[in-house]
Amino acid sequence: MRRLSAQSPAISRFLLWCAPKYSFTRSFVLFALHREAVEMPNPIPLKDHEKETRLVNQRLIACAVLVAVLAACLIARMYFLQVTEFDYHSTISENNRVHVLPIPPERGLIFDRNGEVLADNRPSFNLTLTRERAGDWHKVIDELMTLLELPDEDRILFDKELKQVRHPFEPATLLYELTEQQIAILAVNQYLLPGVDVAAQFVRHYPLGDHFAHSIGYVGRINEKEASHLDNEYRGTQSIGKTGIERFYESELHGHV
């Protein structure tokens, strides 16, 4: 009866209806139902598969919409950068690839009234270092000091010259009037010296020596104070008139880049 009532509640209710009010059968059925209710655990609710399916579909749709929005934003951004802003970014890319290096002009000549040259220029092989190409330029300078057997005082001068250069892609002249032996050493060890070049530059020359130094004057290296007041016409220029005619007619003698 207990097993029957647990499996078929309708049969149990039928037996209770048929049995007399105070009969043994009715008492037994009530006892069996009560015991079954006590022994049976709480029933586990069944899953609503339709509700879960609907929830999963809603989440999938939300994810798909989010992915579509992100893809649309990415495509719009790519179109803006590659089509709308093409000219702007193309110009920036070209400027990053190509560096315009200034070529300093040859300094003007000075003549006396009879046409005799008092100051002219002659070529000189100088050592230059470009920081952008050198990478770790401190290490490159150490190699130079060792290969050319230079005194320690030159190291301070080299650091000062490199700091005076306005742009890292502009070469800084470190040594002037290299000897043939020094040029040969640099050529053999070029692989150890990235960014180092031997360049032919014009230096000031006075055919008459010191005879007219008091009036002609002289040119010298551009110092920090002078560099702060110079314009772009002096890009790549290492010297400037210091005294005499060289200084008074500096704007005419220097020329244009």
Mean pLDDT for back-to-back runs of 10 residues, the chain (257 residues): 46 54 55 53 64 85 93 92 83 71 81 89 87 84 88 85 77 85 90 87 85 84 77 75 88 78
103, part of any domain: no
How far is residue 87 CA from its own chain's centroid?
21
Note down the domain range covering 75: 49-97
CA triplet 204, 209, 215: central angle to 5 degrees?
80
Looking at residue 21, its pLDDT comes to 52
Same domain for 246 and 126? yes
Same domain for 194 and 86? no
Same domain for 91 and 18? no
Same domain for 134 and 248? yes
Dihedral-angle region of residue 106 (phi above 0 means left; psi in -120 to 50 means alpha; beta otherwise): beta
Eight-state DSSP code of residue 80: I
Looking at residue 51, its pLDDT comes to 79
**Helix, strand and coil percent figures for the chain, each rounded to 5:** 55, 15, 30
Domains identified in the chain, total number: 3
Looking at residue 14, its pLDDT comes to 54
Looking at residue 41, its pLDDT comes to 53
3-class DSSP assignment, residue 124? strand
Report how far residue 143's alpha carbon sits from residue 137's, in angstroms, rounded to the nearest whole number. Answer: 10
Same domain for 116 and 92? no
Same domain for 241 and 179? yes
How many helices (H) and strands (E) in the chain?
13, 6
User: What residue has token string 């000219």?
Assistant: 87
